[in-house]
Amino acid sequence: MFGWLLEQVLGHLPTWLWPACAGAGVAVYCLAHLLANFPNFKPYAFFIKPVSAVVIIVSVFMYGGAGVTEILQAQIKAQEAKIAVAEQKSSDANALLAQKSSQHTKIIHDVQVVYKERIKEVEKKIDADCKVDPEAISILNGAAKNPLGVKK
């Protein structure tokens, strides 16, 4: 939870803030160095110097980290753009395939209709000329049966 909160806060801070903080830290450090020459301000300078040093160190570190974050975010954006293009390509390929599939199915059905019509045309003639032995039907049905059993 704390990590997430920290990430949210740090992630939304602008990058320029860190060199600005580092610059301010350097300025305060130099000022404290000057103040140390005045006896009245010496105790303050003693306190301000380490604090400004810590500010400088943390700011410089965070500036480096912010740079890395920017690089990573740019990489993520580039990758996301590539993925969006790929997803569009994938969707287009699916649409093309669906269209091709429906065309093929229509052609196959149309051919079937033609052959069924041809059977109808000669139905009477072939049925009169040829009586099929039930044994032949049994063999045909047996061959058409799924050898792997009935599908569930």
List of residues contacting another protein (CB under 8 A): 22, 29, 53, 56-57, 60-65, 67-68, 71-73, 75-76, 79-80, 82-83, 86-87, 89-91, 93-94, 97-98, 100-101, 104-105, 108-109, 111-112, 115-116, 119-120, 122-123, 126-127, 130-134, 136-138, 140-141, 144-146, 150-151
Q: How far is the CB of 24 from another protein (least distance, A)?
A: 14
DSSP letter for each residue of 100-120: HHHHHHHHHHHHHHHHHHHHH
- Can you tell me whether residue 128 is helix, strand or coil? helix
Q: CB of 91: closest distance to another protein in angstroms? A: 8
Give the CB-side neighbour count of residue 48, counting CA atoms within 13 A: 18
The residue (of 38 and 91) whose beta carbon lies closer to another protein is 91
CA–CA–CA angle 87, 91, 92 (5° rounding): 115
